[in-house]
Structure 1
Amino acid sequence: MAAAGECKGSAPAFAEFVIVRHGETSYNAFRILQGHIDSELNNIGRQQAVAVASRLSKETKCACIYSSDLQRAAETAHIIASSCKITGVVLDPSLRERHLGDLQGLTLRDAQKQKPKAYKLFLSSRRDQEIPGGGESLNQLHGRCTSLLEELAGKHQGERVIIVTHGGVLRELYRRASSMASPEGKIKNASVNIIHISENCRNWSIHKWGDVSHLEETGANEDAFGGDNASG
């Protein structure tokens, strides 16, 4: 029998996005807010990238890979592309983490002391609050990343596509695809998350979330910073 939303003998009437959070960075390990800071993977992060790449190479072939152009995501994406034998990675700034303005490069503790106004706005429940110093609001982040995925869904109906991005972006994609405002717990480094988007882009559905079963050997650091609503 054909799966739900699929006609027998035809391509599925949706685009399947396999969305991976980048591997760990030293900023994650030291609990520093990154935002648009162009940090690289640390040794654990590279091991995590290799592990998720190995997993994806054994699954259904993916048509292409899109990634944030920030180094930590791009490096993860290139490791995946090599393992999956996919030529090229398309880098797109719409997949970047939320810009955190004056908070970038600070720990949460230092941010609270040194930039109290920005810190307060960052933790505010209001989604229209921009962060001083060029930072984005959650609405702005939501708009740019969901618009891109809908654009890509129009291009890749019936295909499986890998997206490599950041915790904040993943939270916004979850918000769009789910009736819940945000996922429970952290979105861990190198986790696998799968979203289907219908042909008309109206229907988003979550088919897997927060899967880190491939990290049994390298480890999914339970204490690693990032992937929740008080990080970036």
Structure 2
Amino acid sequence: MGHLKEMVGANAAELVVVRHGQTTWNATDRLQGQAESDLSDTGVKQAQAVADRLARGAKHITAVYSSDLKRASETARMIADKIGCAEVIEMESLRERHLGKLQGLTRAEAQTAEPEALRASFSSDMDEPIPGGGESLNQLYARTKAAYEDIALRHLGQRVVVVSHGAVLRALHVHAKGVQPASRVRNTSINVFRITSSRDWSLRLWGDVNHLQGTDLLRAGQGGDEIH
């Protein structure tokens, strides 16, 4: 993570995107989407670990942004406190994918109660929404692209932290690399994107969880991010 000590070029912004800590619903395989659940005790420890890591290893962070869902905003607040940033800027547009009728169900429950919604959540049809008000992949991709480019254009020449969600990070990987990531997005993983003033994306770091290595927090941070 040595490049996080470097200055950022004037024509780009560097977005250090962190997935929130584990939640009580993550721990029980319950689908969250835009529903609220609390950080678990493990999730709090993960958030503290990533906050310590960024405070030690990253320089010139000028702002902290977050989804307005509390699992993200609480993680962001711990990071902001550690790096000495007074404000966390919460944005609704940074929320997790809306999962419609799946929200609040375990995967096992969804297979029985909402099989059509579960199928739609994995559909290869980019325009197919999840029943019950859920988003299609194209809706998720358009929302995340606009939100992150907006942040980048506000902060050209700067490095900012953004605390977000698993499906959102998978969408950002598509924006930068053109493909879905091969691995899951772990809780409190560090992922670094560079977005230029002409809205060109590149990926500088993906899935860094060195702050969890050697602890029992790493296994808990692997949670199924595919649809939450």
User: Scaled by the length of structure 1, what TM-score is found?
Assistant: 0.91
CA distance in 2, matches of 1:10, 1:164: 20
- Contact conserved, 2:8 with 2:159, CA < 8 A, in 1? no
Q: How does 1:77-226 map to 2 (within 5 A)?
A: 77-179=76-178, 181-201=179-199, 203-216=200-213, 217=215, 219-221=217-219, 224-226=222-224
> 2:16 aligned with 1:23, yes or no?
no
Q: How many residues align?
A: 222
Q: Which has the higher helix share?
A: 2
Q: What is the letter of the counterpart of residue 116 of structure 1?
A: P
CA distance in 2, matches of 1:144, 1:42: 28
Q: Measure how far apart 1:222 and its partner are.
A: 5.8
- Contact conserved, 1:30 with 1:225, CA < 8 A, in 2? no
CA distance in 1, matches of 2:54, 2:128: 37
Matched residue SS, 1:162: strand
| Residues 223 and 67 of structure 1, relative CA distance in 2, 3 Å threshold | closer
User: Scaled by the length of structure 2, what TM-score is found?
Assistant: 0.92
Matched residue SS, 2:187: coil
Q: Which residue of 2 aligns with 1:76?
A: 75
Identity in percent = 43
CA distance in 2, matches of 1:72, 1:184: 25
CA distance in 2, matches of 1:205, 1:10: 13
Q: What is the letter of the counterpart of residue 203 of structure 2?
A: I
CA distance in 2, matches of 1:128, 1:218: 39
Q: Measure how far apart 1:219 and its partner are.
A: 2.2
Q: What is the letter of the counterpart of residue 71 of structure 2?
A: R
| Residues 182 and 214 of structure 1, relative CA distance in 2, 3 Å threshold | same
- Contact conserved, 2:22 with 2:220, CA < 8 A, in 1? no
Matched residue SS, 2:167: helix
Q: Measure how far apart 1:96 and its partner are.
A: 0.6
CA distance in 1, matches of 2:211, 2:8: 31
Q: Which residue of 2 aligns with 1:64?
A: 63
Listed one character per residue, the Cα deviations across residues 15-35 of structure 1 (whole Å, up to 9, x for unaligned) are: 000000000001111111100
5+ unaligned residues in a row in structure 2: which ranges? none
CA distance in 1, matches of 2:11, 2:84: 25
Q: Measure how far apart 1:11 and its partner are.
A: 4.0
RMSD over aligned Cα, in angstroms? 1.8
Matched residue SS, 1:64: strand
CA distance in 1, matches of 2:111, 2:8: 55
Q: Measure how far apart 1:218 and its partner are.
A: 5.0
Q: Measure how far apart 1:139 and its partner are.
A: 0.8
